[in-house]
Amino acid sequence: MKKPDKPQLSEEQIAGIIDRALAEDISHGDVTSEAIIPPDLHAKATVLVKAAGVLAGAEVARQVFRRVDPSLEVAMLVKDGAAIQPGDVVATVSGRATSILKAERVALNFLQRLSGIASETARYVSETKEYNVRITETRKTTPGLRALEKYAVRLGGGQNHRFNLGDGVLIKDNHLAALRALGMSLAEIVARARQSAPEGMKVEVEVNTVAEAKAAIEGGADIIMLDNMSPDEMRRVMALTPPHVKTEASGGITLANVGAVAAAGVDFISVGALTHSVKALDISLELEPQTLRPLA
């Protein structure tokens, strides 16, 4: 499990992602805007919030507009991580109307999805705030968007799990099935991982029963993932887990049951739904008619 990260993104991290998204949407131009909007028409647009949540992706959206047209003036009025409410204006964009329209969809796609992730994470964090537990996501992210989506989780108050397969040892059910077929016990598998893993790297193992948790601890696991266990089973595991071994609850976690899971005493709760099926936050871009005029 990674240590808490500061919710920051570098331009290098997101430049390639933005370029791919723009190529997907406007590599053949914007035939509608180009056909009917005068190329010298100036406009100002506001980015308007329509649902309560946590803002994420402001800098990404700003860079989208600027990469489409460096002459656009983009003012971000609300910072990432801020609580937002319906009616809030989080940004304004001024400049060539055709450029604003070309960038609109890609900029909003990033803002809506990342804000949805940050907002949902914040809900899970709020449901567990009375417990000493950290909410994390998983690697169930949108292909190519992992850095952005994990950033959004951090903005919502969560902590990041592994970024990739080289980021930590996590022995899951299929690893166990492969080695058990060779006659190895769970404790032997964990001990083998400890012996072979890079020096200093934590070893985590997924378990489904109290007996498996005990074997993982005996094998030297640093973290045990309690997969699809009930809160009662989790409490039984906690009773036999030494202080130096961390515990993570995973599988079937929802807003309805996350509080009960946290009350069992686990250190981490991983929620794949934070990234694999989150609902985008409703955010729109509106041109202000009174600002439409020919470019000087």
- pLDDT per position as a tens digit, 269-291: 999 999 999 999 999 999 998 88
Helix (H) or strand (E) holding 25: helix 11-26
Category of 45 on φ-ψ map: left (φ > 0), alpha (ψ -120 to 50) or beta? beta
Q: Largest Cα–Cα distance of the chain, in whole Å?
A: 78
The DSSP annotation for 261-288 comes to HHHTT-SEEE-THHHHSPPPP-EEEEE-
Active-site annotation holder among 20, 129, 172, 180: 172
Cβ-contact 235, 265 below 8 angstroms: yes
* Domains of the chain with CATH codes: 11-124+279-294 (3.90.1170.20), 125-276 (3.20.20.70)
Q: Which residues pair with 73 in a beta bridge?
A: 94
Of the listed 2, 62, 105, 235, which one is catalytic?
105
pLDDT number for residue 200: 86
Identify whether the C-beta of residue 31 lies closer than 8 Å to the C-beta of residue 269: no
pLDDT in tens, 78-116: 999 999 999 999 999 999 999 999 999 999 999 999 999
10-14, 109-113, 259-263: the lowest-pLDDT one: 10-14
Q: Smallest Cα–Cα separation from 116: which of 138, 143, 91, 148?
A: 148
Which of helix, strand or coil describes residue 284? strand
| 3-state secondary structure at position 49 | strand
CA–CA–CA angle 75, 76, 78 (5° rounding) = 145
Mean pLDDT of 26-39: 94
206 has catalytic annotation:
yes
Q: What tens digit of pLDDT does each residue of 45-80 get?
A: 999 999 999 999 999 999 999 999 999 999 999 999
Is 172 among the catalytic positions? yes
Please indicate whether residue 130 is annotated as part of the active site: no
pLDDT value of position 228:
95
* 11 in catalytic set: no
Q: Where is 96: in which H helix or E strand?
A: strand 89-96
Least confidently predicted of 2-6, 39-43, 266-270: 2-6
Decide: pTM greater than 0.85. yes
Catalytic annotation, pick one of 140, 192, 235, 236: 140
Q: Which residue in 120, 227, 248, 267 is the catalytic one?
A: 227
113 secondary structure, DSSP code: H
- Dump pLDDT digits (tens) for 138-167: 999 999 999 999 999 999 999 999 999 999
> What is the C-alpha end-to-end distance of the chain, expressed in Å?
55
- Span 173-186, mean pLDDT? 93
Question: Which of 104, 120, 149, 206 does the annotation list as catalytic?
Answer: 206
140 in active site: yes
- Report the Cα 104 to chain-centroid distance in Å: 22
